[in-house]
Amino acid sequence: MAHRDCTLLTLRTIAKRAIPWLAFLVFPAMAAKTEKPSTVQPSTVQDLRYGTALYHYFQQDYQAALTELLIAEERGGIQNHGDAGELMRGGLNLALDMEPQASAVFERLIGSDTPEPVRNAAWFYLGKLRYQQGDWQGASQSLQRVNGDLPKAMADELQSLTINLAIKQQDYINAEQLFGQQTELTPWLPYIYYNLGTAHVREGNRELGVGYLDALADLELDSEEHRSLRDKALAASGYSMMLAENYQGAMDRFIQVRLHSPLIQRALLGYGWAAMELEQYPMALSAWQKLGEHSDFDASVQEALLAIPHVYEKLEAPGQALEAYLDAENSYTDQLVEVEQIADDLTSEQLLAALELVDSEDHSSLDLQRLADFLSLQPLQNRAVDVHRLLDMQDRLEQWQSKLDIFQHLLDQRRQARGDKLQTIEQRQFPVQLQQMMAHGDQRAAELQRIIDNNDAMALVDDDTKDLWQRVERSQQHLQVLTAAGELSAQEQDEYREILRRSRGLLKWRAMEQYPDNLWQRKKALRQFENQLLTAVENFRHLQDVIEQAPDIAPYQARLDALQQRLQGRQTAVAAALNQAEGEFRVAVLDELQRQRQRLRYYQSQARLALARLYDSGSQTAEVAP
C-alpha cells in the first residue's frame, strides 16, 4: 500500500489549477470574487507583452505565457503593472517545475519595499518550494512570514500546507488541532484527509487512519483528480482493513473503486484475497478473472493468474485447477520471452514512438503497441513526463528556428545584389574545409548506417576486443598453415579448433552484449560532430558579414546572428538534457524489465511447483484406486 504525500502530488499538477489565485494579485478588482479566472474580466492592460502573457495564462498555456514574460524582460521589462509580471513569472516557473528560477524570483520579491500582497505571495511560494524540497523548518519559517488578509484560495492552500507540515514533522496533535479549524470544504480538504489517514496507518493507528480515509471516500467530489484520490483512499483503507483481519470491511471498500481507475487492479486483487479469507470462493474467482481484462504486465494481473487455480482447488475442482496452472505457466513463459524481446530491441526512438511523442519509421523489430502497454505502468509514466517536457521545449525552439530562417531568407534576398563581395570569401578555403567536414560527416553517418543495417557489433568494440579478435584470426591462419604442413596431430587440430571456436564465440557474445551501448555512444558522437559542423557553418556566415560591411543589412544581420547563436545554445542545452532524460528513461525501462523478469520467474516456478504437486497427487490417487 502506497502512502505518497499527496501535497507533493498536487505540486506536480500545479500547472492545471494550483496558481489560479495569482489572478487575485494581478487584478485587485477580482479579490471579492470566487469564479474561475477565465470567467472574470481583467482590468486595463497597459503593456502589450503583459497582456499577451495574460492571454496565454488564462488559456492555461503556461509555457507560452512564460515565454512572453521573458521576452518582455529582455526588451526592458513590464513598466506599468508593478511586480505583477515578476510574480506571475515566479508562479509559472513553479508550475513548470523550474524550482531554482522560481526561488530566485520569489526571493527578489520579499524586500520591504514590495507591496504586502506581493510579498505575502512570495513568502507563500517560498514556503511551498521548501516544502517540496523537504526543508520542513525552512517551509514553516517562510509560511509564518505571510501576514494580513489573503485571497481565499491562497488562504485555503496555506492552511493545508501548515497541516501537512505538522504531519511531516510527526506533530499529529498540532495537525489534528489545525484540522479541527477547517470550517468548509476546500479543494485541499481531501488531501488533508488522505495524508492524516495514511500517517496514522503508518504509525499503527489503523482504526483512526481508516476513519480519515473513509471520510475522504464519503465526500462529494467533482474533479477527476479528487476522484482518483478517493480511489487511492479506498484502496489504502481496504488493505488496512485486511491487515486488521476485517475482510468484509476490506471488500466493502475495494468494491467502491471505479472500474476505470488506475487503482482498480490493486482493488480487484485485494477484493479477491479478502473473499478467499471469508471462503467466498466464487466471488474471489470473479474478481481475479476480471483482472484478466487488464494489461498482463501489471503485477496484480500476474499474481491473479496464480491465484485463480488456487480458488479452483478450494472449490475441489482439480481438473480446472490443473488447466489454470498450465495457463498461468504458459502465460509467464510467453511474457518472459516478450520481456526479453523488448529488452533486446529497445532503442530511444522506439521508446518515444511508443509514447506517441515522435514518429518512428522502423517498427519492424518491436511491437510498439505492446511496448506502449508496458510503458503505461505508473513508474514509467512518471519518468516519461520529463522527456515529454523536453521534447516540447525542443519543438518550440524549432519553431523559433523556422522564424529565424525566414528572417535570414529576407536578408539573403537583399544581399544577392552584392554577390561580387562574396568572391573574396570564395577564394579562401573555408568552403572547401566545410565541404570536407560535411563529407566526413556523411562518411561517418554512412558507416554508422552500415553497422546498423549489418548488425556489425564488432565494428563498435573497444581496441582490446579488436586486438583479441585479430589474434584469433591470425591464430586461425597459423592453424591452417600448421595443419597443411602436417605438424599437428588430428587430436591437436581438434583441440586448437575448439579453443578458437570458443574464443570467437566469446568475443562475438561480448560484442553483441555491448552493442546497444556502443551504438548509442557512436550516435551521440555523430550528433556532437554535427553540432560542431553547425557551429563552423555559423562562424563562416559571420565572416561573410564582416567582409560585406553592408550598413543597411549589417545591424539586422548582427542581431539575427546573436539570436541564432543564442538559439543554438538553447538547442544544444535542450538536446543534451533530452539525451540525458532519454538515457535515464531507458535505464528506468530496463530496470522495470528486470523487475518483471524476477517476478515472472518467481510466479513461473510457483506454477510449476503447483503443477508438480497436482500431478503427484493425481498419480497417488490412481495408484490406490481399485
In a domain, 218, yes or no: no
Q: What pLDDT does 293 receive? A: 82
H-helix or E-strand spanning residue 314? helix 299-314
Report how far apart the first and last C-alpha atoms of the chain are (Å, whole number): 52
- Top mean pLDDT of 46-50, 57-61, 283-287, 415-419 is at 283-287
Q: What is the CATH number of the domain that holds 37?
A: 1.25.40.10
* Spatial distance between the Cα atoms of 315 and 325, rounded to a whole number of angstroms: 15
| pTM for the full predicted model | 0.62
* Range 377-391 average pLDDT: 76
Domain residue limits at 601: 378-616
Residue 133 pLDDT class (50, 70, 90 cuts): confident
In a domain, 363, yes or no: no
Q: What pLDDT does 427 receive? A: 65
Instruction: Pick 459 or 613 by higher pLDDT.
Output: 613
Q: Is the pLDDT of residue 295 over 70?
A: yes
Q: What pLDDT does 426 receive? A: 66
- 554-624 vs 299-314: helix axis angle to the nearest 10? 10
Residue 98 pLDDT class (50, 70, 90 cuts): low
- Cα 544 to Cα 160, 535, 537, distances in angstroms: 61, 14, 11
Q: What pLDDT does 281 receive? A: 93
* Spatial distance between the Cα atoms of 474 and 458, rounded to a whole number of angstroms: 16
In a domain, 518, yes or no: yes
Domain stops at, among 154, 187, 220 = 187
Domain stops at, among 187, 207, 238 = 187
Q: What are the residues whose beta carbons fall under 8 Å from the beta carbon of 403, sequence distance 6 or more? A: none
* Spatial distance between the Cα atoms of 319 and 272, rounded to a whole number of angstroms: 21
- Cα 264 to Cα 257, 260, 422, distances in angstroms: 6, 7, 69
Q: Is 218 helix (H, G, I), strand (E, B) or coil?
A: coil
Domain stops at, among 159, 187, 215 = 187
Instruction: Pick 348 or 12 by higher pLDDT.
Output: 348
- Cα 495 to Cα 38, 113, 473, 498, 507, distances in angstroms: 82, 88, 16, 5, 18
- Cα 58 to Cα 54, 65, 231, 621, distances in angstroms: 6, 9, 30, 75
For residue 168, give the amino acid letter. K
- Top mean pLDDT of 350-364, 522-536, 599-613 is at 599-613
Question: What's the domain count of the chain?
Answer: 2
Q: For residue 305, what is its C-alpha cell?
A: 493468474
* Residues 448, 522 contacting (CB under 8 angstroms): yes
Q: Is the pLDDT of residue 11 over 50?
A: no
pLDDT, tens digit, for every residue of 569-578? 989 998 898 8
What single string gives the DSSP state of each residue in 577-625?
HHHHHHHHHHHHHHHHHHHHHHHHHHHHHHHHHHHHHHHHHHHHHHHH-
Residue 256 pLDDT class (50, 70, 90 cuts): very high
In a domain, 259, yes or no: no
158-172 burial code (b ≥16 CB/10 A, e <16): bbbbbbbbbbbeeeb
Q: Is the pLDDT of residue 10 over 50?
A: no
What backbone phi and psi angles, to 5 degrees, belong to 357?
-95, -35
* Residues 502, 475 contacting (CB under 8 angstroms): no
- Top mean pLDDT of 32-46, 284-298, 347-361 is at 284-298
In a domain, 228, yes or no: no
Q: Is the pLDDT of residue 438 over 60?
A: yes
In a domain, 233, yes or no: no
What backbone phi and psi angles, to 5 degrees, belong to 355?
-80, 0
In a domain, 69, yes or no: yes
pLDDT, tens digit, for every residue of 497-533? 888 888 878 878 887 888 788 888 888 888 898 888 8
Q: Is the pLDDT of residue 595 over 50?
A: yes
* Spatial distance between the Cα atoms of 317 and 276, rounded to a whole number of angstroms: 16
In a domain, 77, yes or no: yes
Q: What are the residues whose beta carbons fall under 8 Å from the beta carbon of 50, sequence distance 6 or more? A: 68, 69, 72, 78, 80, 81, 84, 85
- Top mean pLDDT of 12-21, 213-222, 377-386, 538-547 is at 213-222
